[in-house]
Amino acid sequence: MCVYVVHLVELTGRASAMLIVHNTRKSGHPALNRTQAQSDHIINAFENYEQNAIGVSVQPLTAISPYSTMHVDICSLAEDKRVALIILPFHKQQTVDGGMEATNPAFRMVNQNVLASAPCTVGILVDRGLSGSTRLSSNQATHHVAVLYFGGPDDREALSYAWRMSGHPAINLTVMRFIPGEDAKALENPAGAHCGNRKSKGEAA
């Protein structure tokens, strides 16, 4: 499995948009600015993952562009590399009291643009930490993962993703398959309404 990790950076000033391909090997040189320090932190994390995972290759990149066109970089890279699944961070972060709050309205716009333009399946990752885990022993925790399977290419990608997660001994996977009943009727599309396909996946509010 090849993972393309893209650090998305807002373009400011009069600088030109660019896509930087990083070498995962540590150079040993100190970061020149905050953006480079953030990229180095991300690269180091995924480099450690690559070294400890089996059959996984990681290619880190940094994309510097305005929020309005950031989705173009993501979708172009996905199409060029024939990516099967794009994973985006949710535009809201968990607060101390367990709620969710938006950090930057532009993040939601980027996600919506990717969902509308992506050449493949898109997943929105909602980071709620690991507080929902149940301790099995002093050094192991179990995490419960559920997949709602209705069918279609997007759900098959989600099922494949969950199946890989289930290979970890601390993952407890439950798959719920939904099958239409004998009296189920197809919804008629109103005149002029958009009929979705793989782009019909939505983002939670």
pLDDT above 50: residue 201:
no
**3-class SS of residue 126:** coil
How many CB atoms sit inside 10 A of residue 51's CB?
A: 10
- The chain-wide mean pLDDT, for the chain, equals 79
165 confidence band (pLDDT: 50, 70, 90)? confident
- With both helix axes pointing from N to C terminus, report the angle between 70-80 and 105-117 in degrees, rounded to the nearest 10: 40
pLDDT above 80: residue 139:
no
Residue 38, pLDDT score: 80
Range with the lowest mean pLDDT among 59-63, 170-174, 195-199?
195-199
pLDDT digits over 89-101, tens only?
A: 888 877 777 777 7
DSSP structure string for 52-98: HSSS-EEEEEEEEE-GGGHHHHHHHHHHHTT-SEEEEE-SEEE-TTS
Residue 205, pLDDT score: 34
Residue 111, pLDDT score: 92
134 confidence band (pLDDT: 50, 70, 90)? low
Percent of the chain with pLDDT over 70: 77
Give the residue with greater pLDDT, 201 vs 28: 28
Give the residue with greater pLDDT, 1 vs 118: 118
Residue 150, pLDDT score: 92
Parse the chain into domains and list their residue ranges.
130-181
81 confidence band (pLDDT: 50, 70, 90)? very high
pLDDT above 70: residue 28:
no
Range with the lowest mean pLDDT among 88-92, 135-139, 179-183?
135-139
Range with the lowest mean pLDDT among 31-35, 46-50, 81-85?
31-35
**Mean pLDDT throughout 184-194?**
56
What number of helices (H) and strands (E) belong to the chain? Answer: 4, 10
